[in-house]
C-alpha cells in the first residue's frame, strides 16, 4: 500500500498529513520518518503529520518524492489565502495563524495562554490538531 500524503504549503514551510499512516508497514513509516529527519523537520505521530521549515511548492514536493523513489500518492491541500488574524509576538510575529507550522501550533496549544488564545484554538480546530 502506498502512503497517501496530503501536502499543505505554508508561508515559510510546508506540512504533510499522512492520511493512511495506520495502514502502512513499519519500513514505510521509517522511510517517511527518515525523510523528515534528514530535512530537520518534525514528525508528529499524534496528528499523523510532519512539518518542514522550508518553502516548497506542491510540484517540487512531488518531484522530490519521485527523485527519492518513494512510493507515495501525493495530494495537494489548497489553503485559501484570505485575510486572517496575524500573530503579534515571537519569531513569527506578523505571520497569519494559518501560515504557521503544525509543530508551532501544537507548541502554542500547550505553552501559550495570552490574549490570542481564542485565535489559536480556532486555528487548531480548523486543522484538526
Bigger pLDDT: 31 or 114?
A: 31
Interior CA angle at 23 toward 20 and 24, to 5°? 90
Residue 121 lies in a domain: no
Give dist(CA 115, CA 119) in Å, integer. Answer: 9
Residue 42 lies in a domain: yes
Quick one: pLDDT at residue 30?
Answer: 95
Q: Is the pLDDT confidence value at 36 over 80?
A: yes
Residue 64 lies in a domain: yes
What CATH number should be reported for the domain holding residue 56?
3.30.780
Give dist(CA 87, CA 93) in Å, integer. Answer: 5
Residue 108 lies in a domain: no
Cβ contact 104:112 at 8 Å? no
Q: Tell me which residue range forms the domain holding 35.
A: 3-76
Whole-model pTM: value is 0.65
Mean pLDDT of 34-50: 92
Which three cell numbers mark 12?
515559510
Q: Is the pLDDT confidence value at 29 over 80?
A: yes
Pairing label, strands 72-76, 3-9: parallel
Q: How many domains does the chain have?
A: 1
Residue 117 lies in a domain: no
CB contact set of 36 (below 8 Å; sequence gap of 6+): 42, 43, 50, 52
Quick one: pLDDT at residue 96?
Answer: 84
Amino acid at each position: 500500500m502506498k502512503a497517501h500524503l496530503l501536502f499543505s504549503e505554508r508561508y515559510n514551510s510546508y506540512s504533510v498529513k499522512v492520511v493512511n499512516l495506520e495502514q502502512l508497514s513499519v519500513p514505510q513509516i521509517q522511510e517517511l520518518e527518515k525523510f523528515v529527519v534528514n530535512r530537520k523537520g518534525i514528525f508528529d505521530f499524534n496528528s499523523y503529520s510532519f512539518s518542514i521549515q522550508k518553502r516548497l511548492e506542491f510540484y517540487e514536493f512531488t518531484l522530490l518524492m519521485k527523485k527519492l523513489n518513494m512510493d507515495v500518492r501525493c495530494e495537494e491541500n489548497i489553503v485559501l489565502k484570505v485575510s486572517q488574524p496575524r500573530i503579534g509576538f515571537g519569531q513569527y510575529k506578523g505571520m497569519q495563524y494559518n501560515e504557521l507550522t503544525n509543530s508551532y501550533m501544537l507548541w502554542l496549544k500547550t505553552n501559550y495562554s495570552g490574549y490570542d488564545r481564542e485565535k489559536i484554538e480556532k486555528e487548531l480546530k480548523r486543522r484538526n490538531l
